[in-house]
Chains A and B, each alone.
Chain A
Amino acid sequence: MKELMIGAVIALAGLYWIEHRLAGRGERRLRPPRRGWRGDPRRGALGGGLLLLLGILALGPRLALRYGEGLVPRAVAAGLFLLLLARLWLLLPRLRPLLGRRLPARPDAVFFLLPAVVYLAWMPWATAQRPPDGDEPFNLLLVHSLAYDFDTDLTNNYAAEDSRRFVPRALAPQPSDPEGRNGELYSRHNALLPALLAPAYRLAGKHGALAVMCLLAAALAWMTLRLARHLFADRPGPVLVAWYLLAFTSPLLVYSHQVWVEIPAALLLAAALDVSWSMAADPTRRRAWLPLLVPLALLPLLKLRFLLVAVPVLLPLVRRLGRRGRRFLLLALAGCVALAAAVLAFNQLRYGNPLKYHHLDQMSFYWTRLHRYPLGLAGLFFDTAFGLFATGPVWVLVFAWGRDKAAAVGRLLWIMTPYLVVLIPRSEWYGGWSPPFRYGCVALPLFALLLVPPLERRRGAGARVLLGGLGAATALLTALWVARPGWTYNISDGRGHLVDFLSIALGIDASRFFPSATRPNLALLVWPPLVVLAVLLLWRGRRRAPAALAWLGAALPLAGLAAVAAGAHHLPTRLVEAEDPYVVHDGGSPWPYVWAVGRPRFRGGWKLRPGDRLVVPVVPGGRALAVEIELRRFGVRRPAVRVRAGDAAARWARVPKGLDWERLRLAGVPWPRGADRLEIELRLAGEPDPEAAVLVDRLSLAWSDAAAPPQERGRPARAATSSRVRETTARIGSSLTWPLPARWNAVPWSTEVRTYGRPIVQFVALPNAAVLTAISP
């Protein structure tokens, strides 16, 4: 509560000062706002709501005696932030005159101060709720070493547990942290950013360093405005809205107070692009090399991979500049190469590895599987836990078209393509343990520029509805990230915090409706084309429509939630992941360990020992069920699996012999009317065996309406002698069957198309039919 009060005071004081500053600038050019309660109800209402929340906040510590385990202060935090967002939105018309008719080369300092006030106000609460995590504490340890020891040797800092100054635990060296030739412990992170933060850290500790990060994020927002003048100088209104969306929503808001290199890198890139585009527009411009080359030189010093975005900045200038300019450019490129060589040489001398802690095969994008590219790219934007659109739905507008959009798209692709080509195929394409869209943050200003052309046509009917819906969803999610900053960090298990809570609240699997690239599902194939199509179709027309349509759109997120709830309880269950939270786990443990490093390497599941049980809530799709359990056995003895549908008699099967991943199939399990759960229990006869265990990954359920098992009915199209094809009944209704001449195919066989080891399409050849089935997520 104390942190929230401090933040409220900072926000109020900052806003008061900024509005006072605005009063002498912008308001003279605008009609004075109407006074009195009738004339200015929104501001009065905001003020009243603010005072009410602050009153609760000021006196709330006495309510905090486990009153909802912190729900009240978090709700107050979310409420305060929503009021702040609304206040800032109402402020936009007063900021508009500061941009004039054409975007200025140097936007007013207000466009830096406003985001800075917001980030600094939020920082105390956010860091109290979620201590530095991911790479942050290790960066801060390096900051501490530079600030106090003036070196980068962390041996003494680990020993003295200096990390307890900013996190509640003593850090241990990260895996593959480089070691010096004399056994020194160094950080895998470069020292440039920590060196920048060291003075503030020395003065004010952790909060001083984080305050500097807030200022860098605010500078990025300001620089985006400056950058926009190269493409959209005559559109200050849409640029202002794009600036608002960039500055006050995720991901920039989430990263603003965190020590990640991505935001300083984005700032350096934006600064370099600003100069580069200026030079391209006016090749006769002189003395611009230093502001261009310094940021580009600093980028690889922040992180070596940023070299991939630095080089494309220079290449377009080759074509534009004259002979003298090309000479300078070639010198600059040579300088980049020399710098890279110097870094590699330094790493070799210091750490014995030119890539510090990486290896060449980690960057072997050239022989990776092709399907990783669309998967990673789709995940970067659409994944529920790590994608850009899941953290800030309004960013979907990047797909909307508009005037001069092609130029912005082209520049973005030019800068980001080499970078993404190298990073996307990695198993941790999402950035590891970090907030969403980590690897995309370096190009956030360019993504913001993509919003400008469609925002020019934001007053059409479809645009109003879409903006209302996306805006409402973004505001709610942003308030949630503000109230629970820890929820921006997700385990790479194919779900996310919100999806988990939704599944628990509904008592059934809801994750199948949300796309995941870490656990690929059908939704990942469906959402991207649907979203793109919806945006392109709705964002059309220039005719001005009533603003009230936006409220219709604002009702869509809740309607979508209701639709998910209805669908979750009506669509038959086809696939169950054993570790999902809606499954009742009576004993056992998750596998791998929740905090296992490099989680995508593992098939997640639930480890059962004899006597442990899984109770799975199920939406039935028929009167009989064929269950296929993907599992793996541990120990010498083979336990038995008991499967029971509702209160019906149980079916038993012994776990397969092999010690690798196997499939255990039980066909023709009768499903009693009214049953809504499936129990899986592990039993072991005889003496207890501490080694005996079974790891259950997933259950595939195939429903049929026949009361008896399908083969007993004698239907040739479905009856199959091979156990392999017994599960070929349509799983989600998306099955095509071709009747063929009898006995065209003597021996039934099947084949599957798999993604990451999971089948997504199956073809089955039966004696008198062929069946093509899209397998459910």
Chain B
Amino acid sequence: MTRHLAPRLASIATALALLSFAASVARHHPDAATATETGLLALLAGLVLGALALGSRTAPAVVTAGSLVGMALVMPAADGSRGALVAVVLVAAAAWSAWRTFRDDRPPGVLDVAAVAIAWQALLRCERLLDAWPEGRFGAEPAVWLLALPLAAAAAAAWIARHQGPARALIALAALLLLVPGAGVVPVAVLVVLAAAAGGRPRAPVDAAFLVAACVVAIGRLPEVALPLLVLVAAVALGGRAGWRWLPAAGAATLAVARGPDVLAHLGWDGLGWAHLGWLALALPAAFSLARERWPLAAAGLALALAHSGGEPAALAPAVALLLLAVPEELPRERWQAGWSLALLGWVAILACYPWLRRPVLDLPSHVAGWPVAALAAAAIALAAVGGHPGRLSRAVGGGLVLAALGAGALLRPPLTLLPRDAVTLTAERTFWTRRLDGRPLRRLTLDSFLAESGGLAPGAEVATVRLLDGRGGRRELVIRQGEHTADWAAPQLGPAAAPPPWIVWLAADGSRAWRYRAVWSFDAPLAPERITIVRHGSLGPAPRLAVVQVGLE
């Protein structure tokens, strides 16, 4: 009994201790914004770890994550990075718990699956917590989203695990949680249908059925096709037609054709089109090495990724997750391939989670010069290609390529940052900021900033100008516009539609979300500036303030 009781006690004690400690910090921290953020992080961590504590195999994840989160809460806080760190730890704990719950041959119990489902739902739908947090409105709606729906999903997944094996149950649950993201009403209904079909049915129709269901939830942004496809899923599940495995590829290809013009417009070296290709390159190893028998799924994933029209960046997560669905029931024997898959799954989970992680992480490929990503992708593809033939030479080659790609990363020179400590605020009294440069060639300039008290500004209004002066009298001016390069920090409350997507989100002292923005200018012909000046426009009036958080030069 000690063997089973001790881990649960450890998990429960960890969750309670973390809540108690974090509550103390949240209540007494001298900085109001930090205290508010700590409170939210405590609530999120308590919910996630408390849910995981219900499981019987989750003690290592809960105790480790609880200790790390407790340490993180003591560290000096800064603009959302502490929240990002806590979120990564919680995502890792949830992933580890899911792994331990489903990896054994014997099917997990409903409580074990529920623990994982609630934890993931809390992570993937933490906006529900954010919305309710400022006024303490934790009513019926958050309870339905955070408890009832994942419980239903867990029950269905446990049923699938009993009849079709834990691996399929994990894949079904993962597809559901990651693709939406989170357990919504329609996806849970689909999972329940699958569970109904799972009992006593041959494998092939269920295989096709939940693949189709994955497509349904992935394109759930198009409600006009959801209902017909839901009917199709039910028919397939109940009818048992094995030939429907081509349906995912056909559906996704149709979608790709329908969005052709958008695809062409976004295939390029700038913007999220490049992010597309970067992510595809990273996901290809999973497709090549793991989907030999399931290449329709891989094709579906690729098509879905291409169909992405540059809207919400997190929509890329479904495409990558769908590629991971190409994993066969018996995973490859090479540990590094399993590790690679796990890493990619973890990356997808991070993409789909905590709101202010998505944009920075997804934008990484677009902020890196092309060749490092290409080098990493080449290494990964080589690993995938040789990985199917275990042998010393192949392992050595694969390992060497990975090391070479990683070593190439060591040569990456981080951008020169001009504001090492504090932001500079430009007001009606202090209208400019200037800094001397060393004249090195400049090919990209990055500006992190936000406005305050700018409610009266029209979209597109000129806020400030960045002037780059070289030593020969040459001048280049970049105009910072409201709604395009920057916006008000309180845009979530004032009107998020008028603001560009945020770069970092943090919590203000009253619990409201605050946004910070990143603007990037690339220069076809490198400049060699010797001075940079940012000048606030006098036409703004006395009230609006521009906070320049960081200026990066590459």
Contacts and interface: CB of A to CB of B under 8 A. Distances in A.
A57 B21 contact: no
Nearest to B80: A68
Interface string A54-90: 1101111111111111011001000000000000000
Contacts of B4: 548
Of the candidates A48, A58, A476, A552, the one having the most CB atoms from chain B within 10 angstroms of its own CB is A48
Nearest to B19: A562
A48 B81 contact: no
A51 B340 contact: yes
A209 interface: no
A276 B73 CA distance: 51
Contacts of A749: none
Given A12-B403, A35-B335, A501-B74, A569 B59 contact: no
A441 to B, nearest CB: 26
A612 B367 CA distance: 48
Interface in B20-37: 20-21, 24-25, 28-30
Contacts of A208: none
A569 B331 CA distance: 52
A6 interface: yes
B406 A546 contact: no
B412 A562 contact: no
Nearest to B1: A546
A551 B339 contact: no
Interface in A14-60: 16, 35-38, 40-41, 43-52, 54-55, 57-60
A35 B336 CA distance: 11
Interface in A509-557: 545-546, 548-549, 551-552, 554-555, 557
B414 A64 contact: yes
A506 interface: yes
A91 to B, nearest CB: 14
Contact of B406 (A16, A58, A551): A58
Nearest to B327: A37
A65 B417 contact: yes
Contacts of A5: 406-407, 409-410, 412
Interface string B69-90: 0111111101111101100100
B85 A75 contact: yes
Quick one: which of A6, A36, A498, A561 has the most chain B CB within 10 A?
A561
A51 B96 CA distance: 15
Q: Which of A68, A505, A562 has the most CB of B within 10 A?
A: A505
A548 B6 contact: yes
B397 to A, nearest CB: 13
A9 B406 contact: yes
A549 B2 contact: yes
B3 interface: yes
A2 B410 CA distance: 5
A551 B7 contact: yes
B286 to A, nearest CB: 12
Contact of A6 (B79, B372, B410, B552): B410
A472 interface: yes
B409 A69 contact: no
- Binding site of A, secondary structure by majority: helix, strand, loop or mixed? helix
Contacts of A67: 79, 81, 360, 504
B63 A72 contact: no
A2 B335 contact: no
Contact of A548 (B7, B25, B66, B73): B7
A546 B3 contact: yes
Contact of B410 (A9, A551, A554, A569): A9
B340 A59 contact: no
B313 to A, nearest CB: 15
Interface stretch (B9-17, B124-132, B304-312, B450-458): B9-17
B376 interface: yes
A590 to B, nearest CB: 18
Contact of B342 (A12, A47, A507, A508): A47
A673 B29 CA distance: 21
A507 B35 CA distance: 11
Interface string A469-507: 000100010001000000000000000001001101111
A650 interface: no
Q: Size band of the A side of the interface?
A: 35 or more
A69 B80 CA distance: 11
A584 interface: yes
Given A9-B407, A549-B6, A554-B10, A476 B413 contact: no
B420 interface: yes
A314 B361 CA distance: 62
Given A62-B415, A507-B30, A561 B21 contact: yes
B67 A558 contact: yes
B299 to A, nearest CB: 25
Nearest to A86: B64
B368 interface: yes
A413 interface: no
B105 interface: yes
A38 B85 contact: no
A121 to B, nearest CB: 13
A45 B342 contact: yes
Contact of B331 (A37, A46, A60, A617): A37
B14 A555 contact: yes
13 contacts: A12-B403, A40-B335, A47-B339, A49-B346, A51-B339, A54-B409, A62-B367, A72-B85, A476-B71, A505-B29, A558-B14, A561-B70, A566-B24
Given A41-B100, A47-B338, 5 more contacts: A58-B406, A66-B550, A72-B85, A75-B88, A566-B24
Interface of B: 2-4, 6-7, 9-11, 13-14, 16-18, 20-21, 24-25, 28-30, 59-60, 63-64, 66-68, 70-76, 78-82, 84-85, 88, 92, 96, 99-100, 103-105, 330-331, 333, 335-336, 338-343, 345-347, 360, 364-365, 367-368, 372-373, 376, 399, 403, 405-407, 409-415, 417, 419-421, 446, 448, 504, 549-550, 552
